[in-house]
Amino acid sequence: MSLLSGLGGFGLSGLEDINIYEDEEKEKEAARAKAAAAAQLQEKDIVFDRTYTCPVCDMEFTSKTVKSGKTKLLGTDPDLRAKYDILDPGKYDVILCPKCGYAALSRFFDKITSPQAKLVLEKISASVQIPEYSDEIYTYREALERYKLALVNAVVKKSRSSEKAYICLKSGWIARGYQESLQAEGNADPALIAELEKQEDEFLQNAYKGFLEARQNESFPMCGMDENTVDYLIAVLATRFKKFDVASRLVASVLGSPAANPRMKDKARDLKEQILAEIKKNK
């Protein structure tokens, strides 16, 4: 006898044999199938070649980019570096023309003036030699090379401090990601790890310097960030380099700002506690 027998008296005899947990089981199975499909995805499966036209030499070329909606955010580092499953999207943020050597982060790629393009042609294109890159993905080594080329382009074309600082920030993130990938593989060369740690530190020091200068001379938003985000970021970098007076002042600014959202204020409170602990430890 069915658990639901007797429903016929309500005119529902057709539901007497229904599976009580059928919907839940179907939902769980669908979730398992989705998770299994995601687990099988590899980095090469979620990048593709996108076509660009170089604003310096007018050449049409392709650069790899990440398919939207295919990666899951796992969390962020204190300096706002986002971490995802499957791949690091930051590896694909530099667009590089293989003909003239013009390179920039995607948000800045088309924002170049004629005088700046002339500087790139004179100081980069005349001697640059672009290496062949991987067919399927960009490795961390290749990504770091591309970021360095973007940085030298920014210097040559006399970009704003904020652009150079942002490239340095993301270069530091790439150096960190490179270290993490080597350590995860279990075959990390101690000398290479030490060199990457040094490069990360140098990039972030230059990011700190550049954002401080930009904050004094440029308007917001800056590289897609509002004033509170930039102040928090500078405070994080200042803490890293033991500039506790700068860090404390900027954290106080974020905490006192009516425009700062609750999440940013929570980050600022955590950073304030860290600063106080660091000051106490360094006395």
Summarize pLDDT for 187-200 with one digit per residue, the tens.
Answer: 789 999 999 999 99
Number of structural domains in the chain: 2
Determine what percent of the chain is predicted with pLDDT higher than 70.
Answer: 92
56 and 189 co-located in one domain: yes
| Residue 231 falls inside a structural domain | yes
Same domain, 210 and 159: yes
| E strands in 121-206 | none
Domain coverage including residue 170 = 46-221
What is the pLDDT, as a whole number, of residue 13? 73
> Is the residue at 164 inside a domain?
yes
* Sequential DSSP letters for 109-126: TT---HHHHHHHIIIIIT
Determine, yes or no, domain membership for 38.
Answer: no
Look at residue 15 and tell me if it is in a domain. Answer: no
Inside any domain, residue 39: no
Mean pLDDT, range 218-224, rounded to an integer: 96
Whether 209 and 179 map to the same domain: the answer is: yes
Residue 224 Ramachandran class (φ > 0 left, ψ -120 to 50 alpha, else beta): left
What pLDDT does 281 receive? 86
Nearest to 139 by CA among 174, 102, 186: 174
- Which pLDDT belongs to residue 186? 83
Model confidence, pTM:
0.85
Confidence of residue 235 (pLDDT cuts 50, 70, 90): very high
In a domain, 26, yes or no: no
Q: Are residues 199 and 243 in the same domain?
A: no
Domain end among 221, 241, 275: 221
Q: Are residues 197 and 283 in the same domain?
A: no
**Which residue, of 221, 246, 272, is where some domain finishes?**
221
107-134 mean pLDDT: 95
Backbone angles phi, psi at 265, to 5 degrees: -65, -35
What's the confidence (pLDDT) of residue 266? 96
Percent of the chain with pLDDT over 90: 80
* Listed residues 180, 204, 221: the one ending a domain: 221
| Residues 246 and 120 grouped into a single domain | no
Q: What is the mean pLDDT of residues 81-91?
A: 96
Q: Is residue 172 over pLDDT 60?
A: yes
More confident residue, 2 or 189: 189
On whether both 140 and 199 belong to a single domain, the answer is yes
CB 164 within 8 A of CB 153: no
